[in-house]
Amino acid sequence: MPDYRRHRVPGGTYFFTINLLERRSDFLVRHVDALRAAVKRTGEDRPFHIDAWVVLPDHMHCIITLPPGDDDCSNRIKAIKIRFVRAMPPHERRSAVRVTKGERGIWQRRFWEHVVRDDEDYARHIDYIHYNPVKHGCASAVVAWPYSTFHRWVAVGAYPTGWGGDGATDVAAGERR
């Protein structure tokens, strides 16, 4: 069995990629209200700050910061996934293994996590999250995608409205204009 080791940083800032099992599905955006409710409820039970988030049809990326002294990011992600699954009727296909284990067939079992190291790493990941709908062809401009914290970042002046879709930004270089 693989030995998954997570780098635990109390009060740390973490980047996550969380995938649906069916990667060609639009399940997350069809049920975005249930996902939002799962995130909100988890944040009420186990506080965290949402730095950035984007929900795409079949996966999502986020950056969260934990409270000082708290390093339990994994159980927050687990709680979000469980709450979302419980809000969905059981209509998805499941493998024999998942049926035997009593598991639903919505999420991939694991998720990808990265501890944000410094301000430059943070800025790169924030840009990556916000540009992701354009990268995956979900929108022609970042501002056109409604399931993202990009609009919140524009409101506080961190990005211009046209960032990431009008040629004003080189996302690979992490430049904001």
More confident residue, 81 or 99: 81
CATH number of 9-116: 3.30.70.1290
* Confidence at residue 97, expressed as pLDDT on a 0 to 100 scale: 86
Is it the case that residue 14 has pLDDT exceeding 70? Answer: yes
Asked whether the beta carbons of 88 and 150 are under 8 A apart, the reply is no
Catalytic residue among 14, 128, 147, 159: 147
SS (HEC) of the chain: CCCCCCCCCCCCEEEEEEEECCCCCCHHHHCHHHHHHHHHHHHHHCCCEEEEEEECCCEEEEEEECCCCCCCHHHHHHHHHHHHHHCCCCCCCCCHHHHHHCCCCCECCCCEEEECCCHHHHHHHHHHHHHHHHHCCCCCCHHHCCCECHHHHHHCCCCCCCCCCCCCCCHHHCCCC
Answer yes or no: is pLDDT of 170 > 70: no
Higher pLDDT, 169 or 63: 63
Q: What is the pLDDT of residue 176?
A: 43
The domain ranges of the chain are: 9-116, 119-177
Write out pLDDT tens, residues 82-136: 999 999 988 888 888 887 888 888 999 889 999 999 999 999 999 999 999 999 9
Is position 147 annotated as part of the catalytic site?
A: yes
The residue that leads in pLDDT, 153 or 103, is 153
Name the pTM for this structure: 0.87
User: What is the arithmetic mean of pLDDT over 46-56?
Assistant: 98
pLDDT band at 61 (very low <50, low <70, confident <90, very high): very high
Sorting pLDDT into bands at 50, 70 and 90, what band is 165?
A: confident
Structure tokens at 118: 């410094």
